[in-house]
Structure 1
Amino acid sequence: MKVEEILKTKAKLSIHKKVLINLQLTSAQASNEMMCLLKNYGISVPQFNVLRILRGQGNKPANLSTIQDRMVNKMSNTTRLVDKLIDKKLADRCICEENRRKVEILITQEGLNLLKELDPKVEESEKEATKNLSKQELEQLNGLLEKLRS
């Protein structure tokens, strides 16, 4: 059954509930599409998120706390995600020179190469997912979603 059919059959639902159901369904659909794309490259959506955070640091390492703060999904186990990326040689762990107890994470050249390969595919997937909306509608929706979270 399509989302529209589900929401129509639940006519007694409040508009608030319908909006939140639509948000959850849309989020799940977008997450599933991204998961399918990334699965072909052997990484998960949260691992992809960590790689993008690390790339955004430039040549500066990030500690686990910084990565956790910037994660889209705050429920992710950052230590486990980083360990998996290190095992795949997409990230590397180093000890902070000023504070030897502090562990810092850097993206490797392999990680950068993977992101470079994924960037156009992810962008195409994002365009495909939003193709039914005009640029103006996308800007309006983005503004409304930001307003909803504030």
Structure 2
Amino acid sequence: MKELEDILLTTSEIPLEKKTVLNISYTANVIRDGILNSLKPFDISIEQFNVLRILRGQKGKATNLQDIQRRMVSKMSNTTRLVDKLISKGYVERFICEKNRRKVEIFITAHGLNFLEEIDPLVAETEANMTSPLTQDELKTLNNLLTKLRN
């Protein structure tokens, strides 16, 4: 990947649009790898971490697989498989709704909430370290520009 970084920094022959897309893609991979490394000792994937944060945001209310999928950062995730893995770790519970047997309700457990309390500071530190070369104004500008690209 170092070769791609060198090319992005030195090649003026690449159209600016292509260079921008390559640079964003490369940076996304660097960020993903950094977050993944901070989660690795806890045997949890970024996608599982994302599901736990979504469920914590429900503040004790039930949610279903479709709502979790809709709110996932990575839309390609197999939400059923992610929830199954989190259930096996004791972080999540799944119940069949008594009124509608086709409806599955998913909750985060106390163990899952405690786990997030433990790893949140480590992820926050990783995020802070990765963004430390930028000032607060640069971070605001970058966020605005990235949002503008998505819309």
Q: Same fold (TM over 0.5)?
A: yes
| Aligned residue type for 2:134 | L
Structure 1: gaps (5+ residues) = none
> In 1, distance between residues paired with 2:85 and 2:9?
43
Aligned to 1:121: 122
> In 2, distance between residues paired with 1:118 and 1:94?
26
Asked which structure has the greater RCO (Cα within 8 Å, sep 6+), the reply is 2
| Aligned residue type for 2:15 | S
Aligned to 1:59: 60
Q: Deviations over 1:65-95 (max 9, x none)?
A: 0000000000000000000000111101011
| Aligned residue type for 1:143 | N
> In 1, distance between residues paired with 2:40 and 2:9?
34
Deviation at residue 97 of structure 1 after TM alignment: 2.9
> In 2, distance between residues paired with 1:60 and 1:135?
35
| Aligned residue type for 1:26 | T
Name the SS for the 1:62 alignment partner. coil
Name the SS for the 1:11 alignment partner. coil
Name the SS for the 1:92 alignment partner. strand
Structure 2: gaps (5+ residues) = none
Aligned to 1:102: 103
- Equivalent positions of 1:33-44 (< 5 A) are 33-44=34-45
Name the SS for the 2:93 alignment partner. strand
- Equivalent positions of 1:20-31 (< 5 A) are 20-31=21-32
**How many residues were matched structurally?**
150
Q: Deviations over 1:44-75 (max 9, x none)?
A: 00000000000000110110000000000000
Deviation at residue 96 of structure 1 after TM alignment: 1.6
| Aligned residue type for 2:32 | S
Aligned to 2:76: 75
Percent identity over paired residues = 53
Deviation at residue 4 of structure 1 after TM alignment: 4.3
**TM-score, normalised with respect to structure 1:** 0.96
Aligned to 1:133: 134
Name the SS for the 1:13 alignment partner. coil
**TM-score, normalised with respect to structure 2:** 0.95
